[in-house]
Amino acid sequence: MRRRARRTVGVSFSGNAMHIVQATHDGGRSCVTASFAIALAGTPDQRSNLIKRRWVEHSLSEENIVLAFPQSEVIMRMATIPSISQKEIAAMVSFETARRLPWPAEELALDFQVLAQEEGQSTVLIAVAHSSEIFERMALLRSAGLFPRGVIPEGYVSLPAIAGLPNSGEQSIVVYINKDNVMLGLLHGTTLQRVRHVGCPRPGAVDSIDPWISRLLAELEKTIHGKNMDKQTFFIAGRGCEQKWIDFFAARLKGNVCVVHPSDRVSSAVPLDSTEWSALGAALSVQERRLPNLLSDAERRTAERPQRRREWREVFALSGLLCAFILTAAFARQHSKQVVLRRLTAEHARLAAKTAPLEKLMSPGRSALQSESGVGELLQMIAAATKVLPPEVAFNAIEFEAGRTLLLRGHCASLAAAGRLVESLQQSPAFATAEMRSSSLQQKDGKETVEFSISCTARRAAALRGSRARQPAPAAGTLESQINVMRETIDRDRWLLAHREAIGKKFEDTLAAGPQIATANGMFITIEQIARVSGLHILDMRPFRSDGEERSGDAVSLSANAGWNSMMAFLWNMERSLSGVRLSRATMRLNSDGTSVVSGRFVVERLQSPKASAPDAA
């Protein structure tokens, strides 16, 4: 974003007139946009109203106002301070000035400019004025609601403006001829080194200037180490400067004399014929480095209030625009989500009409095969336990009995780690209870380990079972969650439609398979198929005997070996199986031979399908 051009207003007083110049500064270039004078006549209220009216007519800035204070009312003194610290220099300048002048310290208005610093010393040019002289001019501006940010001796603004911007290190002498006085200055680049203010000589009394010019030239000759003075440049400027004055200075100075007009130094959108150099220099002073400012710190803060108010207004305006943009973006995003949700809802309604027969077919089969048996209970409990397992704890064995408990056996480095595991299990939403059954300190490989066993019970069987039923989109919640659930539902609908023939055959065969797998042979075949798919190696399989009696056809006991991944795959496939069997008991132990083989012993029993149980119900 392009930065707005800065405006500065320069003000100077000459007799009963107030000179005003406004300049805009953009990218190092300046342009005068207003230049006029106000005749100060009438009562204070009339003058104040006149200033206000002219200020509005020319659309002048009320923030950056610089007052060029008459040089004749300023005491200038050069001093050497044994410090290069800005704070120390300011303290020494204030002390020395108050000590040497007869005015009370509170009546002094002073500031300084550092000209050079070397070997721990600073050469400064001090400007001092009486505060009453400043107050008189400031009161007129303040009565019009104007608060200048700087009161600068006019020599610091008019003389550099006349000299322009010479090459770095170049020295020049400026002669500024005003109506009643002549101001002479020695500049090093744009920095004022010496300044002298004398009354304007009358014809026949020009000798008052010659001594000063001689001293100035002598000082300049010392500074340039005897270089040819004829090659020095002298700038002469003034209002109403006659040719005889130019000839006079050219004859005395014996150098290159340049007569300067305001239009030679700055571009302008208004005529500059009657422009006062002090007001112009004050308006251009924004380009100069720090200049002596005779305003006190309190007056400077007061003058900065309009600019701070404008900056805060801009901040508030930008904040309002940013908030409006954020709210608009949030509303647009929310609206787009609502459009997506409506589109997904319509797509789900279209697919639901096609999947309704499959859902009706699958409903009784799922009810029979997953009723209250706790299908998937073991896997869900193992997942919940391993989720909260600390890194320093390891399981050695897992024992499970459907509808009852999960017994976890393992080892860890300390009893505190086992205690933390119990606390985590108790806080898990998957478990109703979790308690330490036993713990013992053992020596293993020269290190002490704690062997433990923890008993857990599921909180709700229904919460642990892996339901395959359709999950409708939530009535409440974020739009993002509703969209995600609806997408998952649509993906499931599409999968059902893609496999409709296989699903229909599978469920119809399953509902009719109850009587056919009632025998031990049918159970063996079903379990062997699931084990082969899962990569489980069956060591032994026989009808399960409980209390010394063989339960032929109802349950099968088997032992097997496999890696942990294959063992979990067997449990997963048993859970997903629609063949009418389920795990009722399971014991898994990690072999002690140092391998990753897990030995498992399971009891698989047959579920009663609706068709098999219907005669009993009758």
CATH number assigned to the domain comprising residue 440: 3.30.1360.100
Q: Which of 417, 393, 381, 384 is nearest to 583 (CA)?
A: 381
Q: Would residue 494 count as lying in a domain?
A: no
Three-state SS string over 499-510 comes to CHHHHHHHHHHH
Judge if 377 and 295 occupy the same domain. Answer: no
Three-class secondary structure of residue 495 per DSSP = helix
Judge if 427 and 293 occupy the same domain. Answer: no
Judge if 61 and 173 occupy the same domain. Answer: yes
Say which residues have a Cβ less than 8 Å from residue 55's Cβ, sequence separation at least 6: 62, 144, 146
Judge if 421 and 524 occupy the same domain. Answer: yes
What pLDDT, on a 0 to 100 scale, did the predictor assign at position 554?
74
Q: Tokens for 163?
A: 């000299």
Alpha-helical regions (H) of 193-242: 210-223
Q: Would residue 505 count as lying in a domain?
A: no
What pLDDT, on a 0 to 100 scale, did the predictor assign at position 226?
54
Identify the CATH number of the domain in which residue 238 sits. 3.30.420.380
Residues pairing with 29 in the sheet: 26
Query: Is the predicted pLDDT of residue 550 greater than 80, yes or no?
Result: no
pLDDT digits (tens, 9 = 90+) for 105-152: 788 888 888 888 888 888 888 888 888 888 888 888 888 888 888 888
**Mean pLDDT, residues 242-253 taken together:** 63
Query: Is the predicted pLDDT of residue 469 greater than 60, yes or no?
Result: no
What pLDDT band is residue 470 in, cutting at 50, 70 and 90? very low
What letter does residue 421 receive in the DSSP assignment? Answer: H
What letter does residue 351 receive in the DSSP assignment? Answer: H
Query: Is the predicted pLDDT of residue 411 greater than 60, yes or no?
Result: yes
Domain edge (last residue) among 303, 321, 337: 303
Judge if 237 and 123 occupy the same domain. Answer: yes
What pLDDT, on a 0 to 100 scale, did the predictor assign at position 314?
78
Judge if 385 and 260 occupy the same domain. Answer: no
Q: Domain residues for 443? A: 372-464+514-617
What pLDDT, on a 0 to 100 scale, did the predictor assign at position 601?
92
What pLDDT band is residue 600 in, cutting at 50, 70 and 90? very high
What pLDDT, on a 0 to 100 scale, did the predictor assign at position 493?
83
Judge if 147 and 236 occupy the same domain. Answer: yes
Say which residues have a Cβ less than 8 Å from residue 604's Cβ, sequence separation at least 6: 523, 527, 555, 556, 557, 558, 574, 581, 582, 583, 584
Question: Helix 520-534 crosses helix 564-576 at what angle (to 10 degrees)?
Answer: 130
Judge if 296 and 422 occupy the same domain. Answer: no
* Total number of domains constituting the chain: 2
Q: Tokens for 540?
A: 């032994």
Query: Is the predicted pLDDT of residue 486 greater than 70, yes or no?
Result: yes
Q: Are 457 and 380 in contact (CB under 8 A)?
A: no
Judge if 267 and 380 occupy the same domain. Answer: no
Judge if 410 and 294 occupy the same domain. Answer: no
- Cβ-in-10-Å burial (0-12, 13-18, 19+) of 75 comes to middle
pLDDT digits (tens, 9 = 90+) for 1-17: 455 678 889 998 887 88
Q: Are 568 and 598 in contact (CB under 8 A)?
A: no
The winner for highest mean pLDDT among 46-50, 154-158, 582-586 is: 46-50
What pLDDT, on a 0 to 100 scale, did the predictor assign at position 612?
43
**Mean pLDDT, residues 190-196 taken together:** 76
Cα 304 to Cα 455: distance, rounded to the nearest angstrom: 75
pLDDT digits (tens, 9 = 90+) for 78-107: 888 888 888 888 888 888 888 888 888 788
Q: Would residue 572 count as lying in a domain?
A: yes
What pLDDT, on a 0 to 100 scale, did the predictor assign at position 559?
92
Judge if 276 and 157 occupy the same domain. Answer: yes
What pLDDT band is residue 464 in, cutting at 50, 70 and 90? very low
> What percent of the chain is modeled with pLDDT above 90?
6
Q: Would residue 315 count as lying in a domain?
A: no
What letter does residue 607 receive in the DSSP assignment? Answer: P
Q: Which of 300, 299, 295 is nearest to 110 (CA)?
A: 295
Judge if 164 and 268 occupy the same domain. Answer: yes
For the chain, what is the mean pLDDT? Answer: 77
Q: Would residue 65 count as lying in a domain?
A: yes
Domain edge (last residue) among 243, 268, 303: 303
The two beta strands, 181-188 and 555-563, are unpaired
Query: Is the predicted pLDDT of residue 165 greater than 80, yes or no?
Result: no
Query: Is the predicted pLDDT of residue 249 greater than 70, yes or no?
Result: no
What pLDDT, on a 0 to 100 scale, did the predictor assign at position 452?
92
pLDDT digits (tens, 9 = 90+) for 333-389: 888 888 998 899 898 888 888 888 777 666 554 444 444 444 457 888 888 888 888
Q: Would residue 351 count as lying in a domain?
A: no
3-state helix, strand, coil in the chain (%, to 5): 45, 30, 25
Domain edge (last residue) among 279, 303, 327: 303
Cα 378 to Cα 571: distance, rounded to the nearest angstrom: 8
Q: Would residue 585 count as lying in a domain?
A: yes
Q: Tokens for 114?
A: 């550092």
Q: Tokens for 585?
A: 């008991």
What pLDDT, on a 0 to 100 scale, did the predictor assign at position 5?
75
Q: Would residue 313 count as lying in a domain?
A: no
What pLDDT band is residue 560 in, cutting at 50, 70 and 90? very high
Say which residues have a Cβ less than 8 Å from residue 612's Cβ, sequence separation at least 6: 514, 515, 518
pTM: predicted TM-score of the whole model, two decimal places = 0.51
What pLDDT band is residue 468 in, cutting at 50, 70 and 90? very low
Q: Tokens for 352?
A: 């639901």
What pLDDT band is residue 462 in, cutting at 50, 70 and 90? very low
**Mean pLDDT, residues 581-597 taken together:** 82
Query: Is the predicted pLDDT of residue 457 greater than 70, yes or no?
Result: yes
**Mean pLDDT, residues 536-540 taken together:** 89
What pLDDT, on a 0 to 100 scale, did the predictor assign at position 374?
43
